[in-house]
Each structure stands twice: as C-alpha cells, then as structure tokens.
Amino acid sequence: MAGSIESYEIAAGRRWRVRYRKPDKSSTDKSGFRTKREAENFLASVTVAKATGDYIDPGRSKATVGMLGPDWLKLKRGLRPSYTDTLERDWRVYVAPKWGSRRVGDIKPSEVTAWVQDLLDGTAPTDRSATSRNTDGPRSATVVLRCLGILRGILDVAVDDQRISRNPAAGIKGQPKKHGKTARRYLTDDEVCRLAEAVRTVDRATLILVLAYTGVRWGEAIAFRVRDLNRLRRRLHVRENAPQVKGRVKVGAPKTWEKRTVPYPAFLDELLAQAAHGKGPDDLLFPGDLDGYQRRPTTAEGSTSWFRMACKRADLERLTLHDLRHTAASLAVASGAHVKVVQRMLGHKSAAMTLDTYADLFDGDLDDVAERMGDRAAPYATRALAALGLPA
C-alpha cells in the first residue's frame, strides 16, 4: 500500500493527513492539507519520487544553511590561502547573516534574486563585527557574485545529499556583470630600472627586477630558496607560494600548472648570486621580518611603504606589485616570445588563458601575419589581378 489519507478536525475546519513510508521503510506523515484532492496529489508525487529515486526526506530539508556552510568551506581549504580567507570572510559578513538560520528546503529563487539586488544596493544585512573592513554601502559585482557563489555552492551540496531537489540559487536572474578591469600598466625597461634604482637597497632592488623580468607573483618570489636558483641555466624554480593572509604568511605549493621553471636575464645573475651568498640550500633568497619572509608592501595611494616611496622617487605613477607581472609579459612579447613561452613563464593553465589575459600585447602579430601572407601570395595575386584586367 502506497499510503493512507485520513481527515481530522481543527477549529478552522476539516483538514487531511497523509501517512506513508519513506524509502528506508520508516513511517512518516504530512498534515494540513485543506482538501482531499491536495492530499491525494501529494501522496501520488511521493509515490513517483520513491519509484524514480528522487524522493526528498522532508526532515533532511530542515537543515539550515548555517549548519552546512562550515563543511562547505572546509572543502575549499585546498585553494589559495588568500582566496579561502576571502571566502570565509564573505561567508561571515554577508552570507551567514542573511541565510544562516534558513532551512534549505524553504529558500525560494525569488528570495535569492532579491538578496543579490540588496547587496548591490547596500541594503542587505551584514555582520560588521566579522571584519574590520567597511561593510556599508553598495557592494561591487565581484563581491556579490562571490557571495552568490558561496550560497550556490552550499545548496549544491544540499542537492547532492538529497536534502532538496533543486538549487534555488542556480540560474537566478539579475546577476551583475563585472565591469572591464582598469587599464594595465606596462613598464619599459628604463622605467623598471629606474624603479629598482629608487628602491635603494640591493635585496629589494633585486626582488623588483626578478618580478619584472620573470613574471612570478610576489608570494612566489619571496618563497624562493637558494636551492631554487640554477645559475648554470639561469633558471628559478617556482615550488612554493607564500601569500600574506591576515597579517601572517601562509606557505603552500602553487597549483599544479603553476609549478614551473622561469628564466632570468644574464644581468640578474650576479645579483642573485649575492642574494644566495653564505646561505644554505633551504634558506630564503629574500628573507624578511614577517615569519622570516619579506612583508608585502602596501601600494595604496598615500602609503609610505618602501615600494610606494620608490615609485615616487622614480617619478612613476602609482603601481601595484601585479603591474610588474604584467610588465614581464609585455617585455617578453616585445622580445618576440611565443604565446606558449609566455604561458609557461607566467604559470597560466593554458595558452588560451594567456591570450585572453594579454590579447592587447599580441595585436602586433596581426600586422605581421598580414604582411607575411601578402608576401607569399604576391606572385599569385599579381597573376590573378592581370587576368582580371586590374593593375597589380
């Protein structure tokens, strides 16, 4: 027997209750139906769901987002420490205040759509005590999409665990679009060297030159150890990454495709040899005072960090450390490097990613291609034009 339907009386009138067995054979019921037809339809839907394997236990859908969120965040700890820190922060500040107490089975797509708009308008509930960062006012598209991704990821797990049949945060309308990024800064060789000269300390000047001529990230550069330096082949081996998270350095391995060997120009050889002098294989090339590592300099306007002061002394507009990575890509392309070489140097997952990121640097290739194609086709084109009675 699929189940049974029975009526009962309450002050507001007659109601109907459905009794049935769950797939695990335990008994349960659902009451409150206003008509017998509603109760019959519900029992029929349960019967079909059990037969197709799509049955959702109402008791499991009572789990809250707050109960599932921490476990989802644990799954993300294998990502870059700086990124996982951002996810945890946005969970505490934006997602948990709105959804933490909500049952996953009660969330509607329209509510998620409204929340996204509230974040964009700056009217969504936030937990200001969870961060020192200003949480008032409209949020950027980047923050909103990341918050939506957190909620969607948690609800994906709820779907996989058969707590809900579909994800109410998937495919919602009104998602913001990221605006185009600000124009990248590409320094010339002269500007790079002026910046290095303005640093005024040899170790940091060497660090600037390494960033600008190898394309490694700051966290990768400060994690270089003496054993990563191969002077015979003029190579540096990227084996670790040391990002700064919450004022501390968290050392980890780069992603698989970011573990790589990068070349450096000959003029850097003596500077790197000096950085390695008197050190053991496991010693850092560029040690500092933050857990033994170089402290990442602030690049914000008004900062008095050594990097910002060097930019001023070199008469350069405000730069970020990542601009030196862009510069390395630009200088490599200007030197005739193939896109696959630039991809390997920067640690991109694919050449397509490199082209998407630095499409503007390869514009000159279009002119070169057109010129070479024209040179090859010229004898044949002349003949074709003559046959058509047109001047060659």
Our count of domains for the chain comes to 4
Average pLDDT over all residues of the chain: 88
The answer to whether position 305 is within a domain reads yes
Whether 284 and 265 map to the same domain: the answer is yes
Please indicate, yes or no, whether residues 14 and 135 belong to a single structural domain of this protein: no
Q: List the beta bridge partners of residue 119.
A: none
Say if residue 365's pLDDT is above 80.
no
Q: Indicate if the pLDDT at residue 132 is higher than 60.
A: no
Domain assignment present for residue 172? The answer is: no
Domain range for residue 376?
358-392
- Partners of 6 in beta bridges: 17
Same domain, 193 and 253: yes
The answer, yes or no, to whether residue 136 has pLDDT greater than 70, is no
In a domain, 297, yes or no: yes
Residue 54 has pLDDT above 80, yes or no: no
Radius of gyration of the chain (CA): 30
- Residues 8 and 90 both lie in one domain: no
Residue 233 lies in a domain: yes
Does 219 share its domain with 124?
A: no
Mean of the pLDDT values across residues 310-332?
94
For residue 291, the 8-state DSSP code is T
- Tell me: do 119 and 27 sit in the same domain: no
Confidence of residue 179 (pLDDT cuts 50, 70, 90): low
Q: Which residue has the tokens 């294989």?
A: 281
Q: Where are the alpha helices (DSSP H) in the chain?
A: 36-52, 65-75, 81-90, 96-99, 109-121, 141-160, 189-199, 202-214, 218-221, 269-276, 306-313, 321-334, 339-346, 351-357, 363-387
* CA quadruple 71, 77, 81, 83: dihedral, nearest 10: -60
pLDDT bracket for residue 215 (50, 70, 90): very high
What CATH number is associated with residue 282?
1.10.443.10
The three-state secondary structure class of 112 is helix
CATH number reported for the structural domain that contains residue 121 in this entry: 1.10.150
Clarify whether residues 259 and 370 are in a common domain. Answer: no
- How many other CB atoms sit within 10 Å of the CB of residue 173? 9
92 is a domain residue: yes
388 and 347 housed in the same domain: no
Rounded to two decimals, what is the model's pTM? 0.67
Question: Are the beta carbons of 267 and 213 closer than 8 angstroms?
Answer: no
Tell whether 151 and 77 lie within a shared domain.
yes
Q: Are residues 256 and 273 located together in one domain of the fold? A: yes
Q: Are residues 340 and 372 in the same domain?
A: no
The answer as to whether 166 is a domain residue is no
Residues 281 and 235 in one domain: yes
Q: Domain for residue 177, yes or no?
A: no
**Does any domain span residue 340?**
yes
pLDDT tier at 268, thresholds 50, 70, 90: very high
Q: What does the pLDDT average to over 65-71?
A: 95
